[in-house]
């Protein structure tokens, strides 16, 4: 699976995150309200965001999100923990996602996740998401996407709810919900 594709939708484009994206992406991430219910609520601080950004670069799966109407960077997401070793069920996780507040509720998150799911389901059978236990906004978004709670986990000492979407059950694919191409 290509973990850093370029994915193009009606509202946005996702492309591989690059080192030179830091200043622009940090200017989006420096809004404390983005992180207020997140397990890392101080990610709006430059030193904390730098760790997040550098881990995205190192992951080889981070994508920057661009608003097609303005050409501006509005957030990021990433693929991680690709498991292609399982014979019957291959999985990947999608997460570390954030968007500028002006993009909340306008279809951006749904299109972004739809693009990423469509791309992932060309290779894997299950996509998992780990959402902070108290991040109720993201948990509601998972339910809107049709994700099913699939357990809990602890990441860096903090509780997360695991959600899963299976290739044969996703409502976003093959139903006109995502107008997308990838390259």
Query: What is the per-residue pLDDT for 86?
Result: 63
How far apart, in whole angstroms, are the C-alpha atoms of residue 78 and residue 110?
A: 15
Cβ atoms of residues 157 and 121 within 8 Å:
no
Q: Which residue has the tokens 């709006």?
A: 44
Contact 17, 63 (CB under 8 A): yes
Q: What is the pLDDT of residue 30?
A: 98
Choose the CATH number for 7-126 among 3.40.630.30, 1.20.58.100, 1.10.10.60, 3.20.20.140. Answer: 3.40.630.30
Q: What is the pLDDT of residue 89?
A: 66
Tokens of residue 30, six digits: 């420096």
Listing from the earlier edge strand, what are the strands of the sheet with 91-99?
Answer: 148-155, 158-166, 126-132, 91-99, 73-83, 62-67, 12-16, 7-8, 181-182
Residue 177: closest CA among 123, 112, 105: 112
Determine the pLDDT at residue 179: 40
Block means of pLDDT (10 residues each) for the chain, 183 residues, are: 96 98 98 95 98 97 98 97 76 96 92 95 94 92 91 93 88 43 40
Q: The whole model's pTM is what?
A: 0.90
Residue 84 confidence (pLDDT):
73
pLDDT of residue 21: 98
In Å, what is the CA distance from 121 to each residue of 21, 100, 108, 138? 28, 27, 20, 21
Residue 60 region by backbone torsions, left for phi larger than 0, else alpha for psi between -120 and 50, else beta: left
Tell me, what's the pLDDT at 170? 63
Q: List Cβ<8 Å contacts ≥24 apart for 104-107.
A: 106/11, 107/11
């Amino acid at each position: 699976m290509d973990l850093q594709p370029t994915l193009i939708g009606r509202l946005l484009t996702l492309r591989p995150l690059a080192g030179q994206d830091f200043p622009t992406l940090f200017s989006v991430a420096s809004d404390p309200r983005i992180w207020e219910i997140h397990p890392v609520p101080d990610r709006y601080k430059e030193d904390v965001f730098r760790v997040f950004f550098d881990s995205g670069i190192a992951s080889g799966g981070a994508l920057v999100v661009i608003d097609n109407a303005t050409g501006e960077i509005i957030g990021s997401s990433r693929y991680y923990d690709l498991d292609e070793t399982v014979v019957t069920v291959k999985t990947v996780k999608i997460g570390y996602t954030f968007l500028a507040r002006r993009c909340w509720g306008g279809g951006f998150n749904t299109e972004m996740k739809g693009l990423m799911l469509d791309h992932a389901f060309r290779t894997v059978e299950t996509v998992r998401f780990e959402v902070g236990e108290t991040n109720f906004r993201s948990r509601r978004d998972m339910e809107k996407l049709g994700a099913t709670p699939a357990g809990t986990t602890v990441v860096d000492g903090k509780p997360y709810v695991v959600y899963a979407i299976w290739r044969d059950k996703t409502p976003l694919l093959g139903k006109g919900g995502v107008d997308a191409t990838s390259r």
